[in-house]
Amino acid sequence: MRILVDADACPVKSIILKHAKSMGLEVIMFIDTSHELNDGYSEVITVDKGADSADFALIKRIATGDIVVTQDYGVAAMVLAKKALALNQNGLIYTEYNIAPLLEQRHMSAKIRRGGGRLSGNPKRTKQNDIDFEKALISLIE
């Protein structure tokens, strides 16, 4: 088991590293060239800034049983198809039961935006989001 992270905008890298180190798990962070990361523990894969470059690099490296941290529903769907585990930075564990509605929601939101509509932004991150993520990560590791 390894932890792969879609790390460009991931606010929980320190939580991931804390638990990976304590369990001796390999961590691979995927970023594009507009970011810089050196945490002294994880392997960092840097890709070009092309659309979804980090996502595609991450998908190519997944093995059955890996844990992937991503907020991208499309990436999560591909992770599940590869028999790996996926969760987002707020502690939502993606499953075969919740991924289809999430993808449909993403599709409908994109359709609204293409039509000139506006959607409200994401709520501000809270301490509870970190707590929920940490609990979910621990449950997947165990």
How far apart (Å, rounded) are the C-alpha atoms in residues 56 and 103?
A: 18
CA 142 – CA 132 distance, rounded (Å):
16
pLDDT higher than threshold 70 for residue 119: no
Least confident of 2-6, 79-83, 102-106, 108-112: 108-112
Measured between alpha carbons, how far is 5 from 28 in angstroms, rounded to an integer? 6
Q: What is the mean pLDDT of residues 104-120?
A: 66
With residue 92 as reference, give the H or E element that holds it: none
Other CB atoms within a 10 A radius of the CB of residue 61 amount to 14
pTM over 0.85: no
- pLDDT confidence of residue 109: 62
Distance CA 101, CA 95 (A): 11
87-106 pLDDT, tens digit per residue, is 999 999 999 888 876 777 75
* Fold exhibited by the domain 2-141: Rossmann fold (3.40.50)
